[in-house]
Amino acid sequence: MILVTGGAGFIGANFVLDWLAQSDETVINLDALTYAGNRQNLESLARDERHLFVQGDIGDSILVDRLLVQHRPRAIINFAAESHVDRSIHGPEDFIQTNIVGTFRLLEAVRAYWNELQDEAKQNFRFLHVSTDEVYGSLVKDDPAFTETHRYEPNSPYSASKAASDHLVRAYHHTYGLPVLTTNCSNNYGPYHFPEKLIPLMIINALAGKHLPVYGDGQQIRDWLYVKDHCSAIRRVLEAGKVGEVYNIGGWNEKPNIDIVHTVCALLDELQARADSKSYREQITYVTDRPGHDRRYAIDASKIERELGWKPTETFETGIRKTVQWYLENQSWVANVQSGSYREWVEKNYTGRTA
């Protein structure tokens, strides 16, 4: 069996669902169920004996030790992280605790477990750490895309905390021999995405008749990766990745944020038009940019294609259509995640931003 941490969040839940759709191997799913962790993401697995959900924190060493000894996983995939830049600006301490201290405690527990394994089980064990392209910093327009050897230059409390966790994972391999793999992905999108991030926020606000807040001039460029492509890449790295290596996972889809918003509006105009027949683009509002906003991220995913034969199957056009359709067809999920705490966060982050 495998142990997945953070498996009730956006990417983690998609990974668990895809894993069990393709394999009978049991998943132990450890998630603290903070604001972005949602058991409803895993509702289809409620009666599936191959899925064992455990509510808990990766920083709880006693709990993690018990799970490792009891279930003897052959691999751990670590999705658990605080991941929203805006939240890290407002409250960085949670990011330090989860992404740095939590990863450290998880690594300590895993190292002790791995040291007790014998022979083939020890040789075949893997710890796969899921990270982000934001650790590399920001690019200007004509810079080449990030490769795995690009210097780390994190610019937000979030990316700095993820960079620290990446360094810890690397150190545990080089110092203790722990068989690790690290992946750095570009911006994900798709089903179950918590609506604090750009694409789901635009969809939900548009349908609710609210403003579509675009930071600054909207020309910040990101590479977009459909979440199910990301999941397939992680499976491939776990299967065939070289121990100690880093693999960048991207969608080869660099686009300015404003283009993303325009695309979402066009799809909604087509699939669920406004009652007044006007375009959702009329709801776009430019607001004050966030502090230290990185201008451009771009992933060079050549290594994973060259060495492991992986490349994304979705274009942005096919992936974004599937995403918008999913949100339109899952309005009960959308309503349920917009709790009082979510509304308080949106008000905190956007109120007072001048147009």
155 lies in some domain: yes
267 lies in some domain: no
Q: What is the pLDDT of residues 102-127, one digit of tens each?
A: 999 999 999 999 999 999 999 999 99
Residue among 113, 136, 158, 192 flagged as catalytic:
158
130: DSSP letter: E
Band (148; pLDDT cuts 50, 70, 90): very high
Length of the chain: 355
Band (141; pLDDT cuts 50, 70, 90): confident
Q: What is the pLDDT of residues 193-217, one digit of tens each?
A: 988 899 999 999 999 999 999 999 9
pLDDT of residue 156: 94
Side-chain-facing half-sphere of 293: CA atoms under 13 Å: 16
At residue 353, does pLDDT exceed 70?
no
Residue among 86, 133, 196, 314 flagged as catalytic:
133
Locus of tokens 């690290």: 182
pLDDT of residue 308: 98
pLDDT of residue 340: 60
Count how many domains the chain has.
1
Compute how many other C-beta atoms are within 10 angstroms of the C-beta atom of residue 335. Answer: 10
263 lies in some domain: no
215 catalytic residue (yes or no) = no
The phi and psi torsions of 298 (rounded to 5 degrees) equal -155, 130
119 catalytic residue (yes or no) = no
Nearest to 68, CA basis, from 135, 132, 121, 8: 121
43 lies in some domain: yes
Residue among 31, 134, 196, 314 flagged as catalytic:
134
Domain extent, residue 13, equals 2-190+224-252+293-313
d(CA 353, CA 185): 30
Checking 48-55 for CB contacts under 8 A at 24+ apart, the result is: 48/20, 50/20, 50/24, 50/25, 50/26, 51/16, 51/20, 51/26, 51/27, 52/26, 52/27, 52/28, 53/7, 53/8, 53/29, 54/28, 54/29, 54/30, 55/31
d(CA 45, CA 33): 17
158 catalytic residue (yes or no) = yes
DSSP assignment of 243-297: TT-EEEE--S-EEEHHHHHHHHHHHHHHHS--TT---GGGGEEEEPPPTT---B-
120 lies in some domain: yes
243 lies in some domain: yes
CATH number at residue 81: 3.40.50.720
